[in-house]
Amino acid sequence: MTARPTHLAAAAAARLAETGVPSARVDAEILLAEALGIDRGRIPVADDPTAAQRDAYEALIARRAAREPLQHILGRAYFGPLTLAVGPGVFVPRPETELLAVWAARQVHHGAAIVDLCAGSGALGLYLAATVPESRVVLVERDPAALDYLERNVAAATFAGTVTVVAADVRDPDLPGRLTGLLGTVDLVVSNPPYVPDGADLDREAAADPAAALFSGADGLDLIRALAPLAAGLLAGGGAVGVEHDDGNGAGAARLLAGAGFAGVEQHRDLAGRPRYVTGRMDA
Encode pLDDT of 54-100 as tens digits.
999 999 999 999 999 999 999 999 999 999 999 999 999 999 999 99
Binding residues for substrate: 192-195
* Beta pairing, strands 275-282 & 263-269: antiparallel
User: Torsion angle, CA of 132/83/231/195, rounded to 10 degrees?
Assistant: 150
Q: How many helices (H) and strands (E) does the chain have?
A: 10, 9
Q: How confident is the model at residue 181 (pLDDT cuts 50, 70, 90)?
A: confident
Partners of 141 in beta bridges:
167
The rounded mean pLDDT for the chain is: 95
* Cα–Cα distance measured from residue 133 to residue 160, given in angstroms and rounded to the nearest whole number: 6
**57: alpha, beta or left? (left if phi > 0; alpha if psi -120 to 50):** alpha
Non-local CB neighbours of 215 within 8 Å, separated by 6+ positions: 194, 196, 197, 198, 200
Q: What are phi and psi of 22, to 5 degrees?
A: -70, -30
Q: How confident is the model at residue 2 (pLDDT cuts 50, 70, 90)?
A: low
CA-based nearest residue to 62, from 114, 98, 19:
19
Non-local CB neighbours of 89 within 8 Å, separated by 6+ positions: 143, 145, 146, 148, 149, 210
Q: Give the pLDDT mean for 234-253.
A: 96
Q: Give the pLDDT mean for 208-237.
A: 96
Encode pLDDT of 31-65 as tens digits.
999 999 999 999 999 999 999 999 999 999 999 99
Q: Say what the pTM is.
A: 0.93
Q: What is the DSSP letter of 83?
A: E
Binding residues: 141, 192-195
Binding residues for S-adenosyl-L-methionine: 141, 192
